[in-house]
Amino acid sequence: MNVVVAVDGTSGSGKSSTCRAVAARLGLRYLDTGAQYRALTWWMLDRGVDVHDAAAVAERAGEPVLVSGTDPLAPTITVDGRDVSVEIRSDEVNAAVSPVSAVPEVRTRLVELQRELIGAGGIVVEGRDIGSVVWPQAELKVYLTADPAARAARRALENGGADVAATQESLLARDKIDSGRAVAPLTMADGAVHVDSTELTLDEVVDVVVGMVMERV
């Protein structure tokens, strides 16, 4: 199955869990583009680059070697040969990924890498701008959202019972940055299907997306 499924949406709406499950069920590859931005951000922090200095970030954006594993049951991300799957989920990276992601040179580099990985298809890709910028010709484009309270509750649970109110504030701040940036803002792509996961279980969301894939293949 050479289909490309592009799933965009807000932080905490369930993109990763949904995409991995859809890919596993259909025997497709899986790509988490957000992990690539996080990995590049981790590298910048590790090298002492000021992530709020766009020129400094741009100057070094081409240095690290990023490799994304596409097995939905065990996705990986390495930087210069080092597995950073755990490190990229730190609070420090969470706080720095938005300014790094907004640098045009970073997006240009990673979009090129993403298009190479998508290649001939057979993949579920999640991110912020997959259907609008990276692969607008995808056979299925999904825009996955949930209301802020539901997203915050899920993300707080994922983070070991973090404060829900603080988590919601952080998610809304991320939404504002992602939606307002000049380059490839978070937006619902033309032709995308909006799926609101607020009242749905993970299995129900997966069933909806798998059903749409099968309709198109």
**How many structural domains comprise the chain?**
1
Least confident of 49-63, 112-126, 142-156, 198-212: 142-156
* 81, 147, 217 from 144: Cα distances, Å: 32, 11, 21
What is the CATH number for 83?
3.40.50.300
Mean pLDDT of 193-212: 94
81-133 pLDDT, tens per residue? Answer: 999 999 999 989 989 998 999 999 999 999 999 999 999 899 999 999 999 99
140-158 pLDDT, tens per residue? Answer: 999 999 888 888 887 777 7
Judging by beta carbons within 10 Å of its beta carbon (0-12, 13-18, 19+), is residue 60 exposed, middle or buried?
middle
Whole-number pLDDT of residue 181: 67
pTM: 0.89
Which residue range(s) make up the domain with 158?
A: 4-216
